[in-house]
Amino acid sequence: MKVTFNGITLAEGGYANGTTWAAVFNIAVEQRVQTWQPLRAEWLKLKARGGRSHVITLTLRPPPEEDHHEAFAALSIYFADLPAEGALVLESGGNERTYEEAVLVSMPGTQRNGTANAFQLVFRAGEPSALVRFILDGDGVILEDGDGVPLEW
């Protein structure tokens, strides 16, 4: 999966010669709910009150660093170097989904395993854009027209 946030590439779509990042993707949708219990009712009543949001968790696995000290340095400053909000674009297999106003909420559960790191980033976003489907060639590469614009279905 290719992931970009506010124009910064977070994952290029898997490992290739140990130079690109892999991403694991999880998504949840939350909504505000009002509850009340009518007089003498055994069960609560629930009412959706809107305000839905997507909680997107990405686990990024960069290639290993040169040594333990470089791995620590990369891990300790990574979150601080990212913008607070922007467009989060997820692309996988010719399908692209954009969350225009995503906010980087946190970086929990960070792992350091020798010279390798795994960053977990949590984003919160509203309604995504429509799903864009690109036309792929036999090797899974997105086809472009003569002007370099990706071809869509």
**Residue carrying the six token digits 């992931």:** 3
Number of domains, the chain: 1
**Residue carrying the six token digits 């991403």:** 23
3-state secondary structure of 25: strand
pLDDT at 31: 87
Poorest-pLDDT segment among 17-21, 71-75, 94-98, 107-111: 17-21
- Cα separation, 137 vs 130, in Å, equals 22
Q: Which amino acid is at 153?
A: W
CATH number reported for the structural domain that contains residue 123 in this entry: 2.40.30
Indicate whether 153 belongs to any domain. no
Indicate whether 85 belongs to any domain. yes
How would residue 88 be classed by pLDDT, with cut points 50, 70 and 90? very high
The residue segments making up the domain with residue 123 are: 2-31+51-133
Total Cβ atoms within 10 A of residue 90? 22
- Cα separation, 18 vs 118, in Å, equals 14
- Give the number of C-alpha atoms closer than 13 A to the C-alpha of residue 143, restricted to the C-beta side: 11
What's the pTM value of the predicted model, to 2 decimals? 0.73
